[in-house]
Structure 1
């Protein structure tokens, strides 16, 4: 997907990189409306879910969705998320997250979206992202309706 944002930049996006808990899932569960959006976005992006899988539900909740789950239950989630995003080519990635461990990947991504939903958001993440939303539904809708992004980010 190519999105031209006047006075900002042109985005050439291939990958959607998502945090799991607090971003697409609440208490380890993905709401049905979010699953529907992920199904639709699978036509436009290669989707990755990066998670320490705190609740142990990621595989079951993502079953049947057009995405790849990458887990790292031990070690630094922050470092792993950045490593994975960089290996994909950060300049072609959208990163969406809500936590402290999402900061480096959001700083590196071509487009980053912070979600401040039910589980809250790490305050310093908000200043590192291109866009902040109050729900994952709104964040994913920005990608399905890219003129919303243009309106928000244009110069």
Structure 2
């Protein structure tokens, strides 16, 4: 996905890295509307869900959605998310998250979105991400309607 942002930069995004709890899932459950958006996006981007899986539901909730699921220990979440980003190449990645353990990943990606949905937002993400939105749906829709990204970032 190539997005030319006048007066800013050109993004060439291949991978979308997604935090799970608080970002695409609420209390461990993916809302139907979010599931539908993920299915649409899976045809455009390589989706990666990165999670410590607090509720133990990520595998069953992500079933049927074409994506890569990486789970890891809670104590190591921030470094594992950053490592996945570095493995895929930060310049080719966009990230969406809401928590403190998302900060290193979001600040290193080519494009990042902070989500302030029902489970809250770690305040430093407001100033460290490229865009901030109110919901998981709004975050995912940015990649279906990239002119929204352009409108938010152009010079």
TM class, shorter-chain normalised?
Answer: over 0.9
Bigger shift: 123-132 or 69-78? Answer: 69-78
Aligned to 1:112: 112
Structure 1: 4+ residue segments shifted above 3 A: none
- 1:16-49 Cα offsets, whole Å, 9 max, x none, are 0000000000000000010000000001111000
- 1:73-100 Cα offsets, whole Å, 9 max, x none, are 2431000000001100010001000000
Q: Name stretches of at least 5 consecutive residues in structure 2 with no aligned partner.
A: none
2:10 corresponds to 1:10: yes
Aligned to 1:43: 43
Normalising by structure 1, we get a TM-score of 0.99
Map residues 38-117 of structure 1 onto 2, 5 A cutoff: 38-117=38-117
Normalising by structure 2, we get a TM-score of 0.99
Q: Name stretches of at least 5 consecutive residues in structure 1 with no aligned partner.
A: none
Change (3 A) 1:59 1:104: same
Could you say what secondary structure the match of 1:18 adopts? strand
Aligned to 1:137: 137
For the residues of structure 2 that align with 1:32 and 1:42, how far apart are their CA atoms? 15
Could you say what secondary structure the match of 2:29 adopts? coil
Q: How big is the alpha-carbon RMSD for the aligned residues of Structure 1 and Structure 2?
A: 0.6
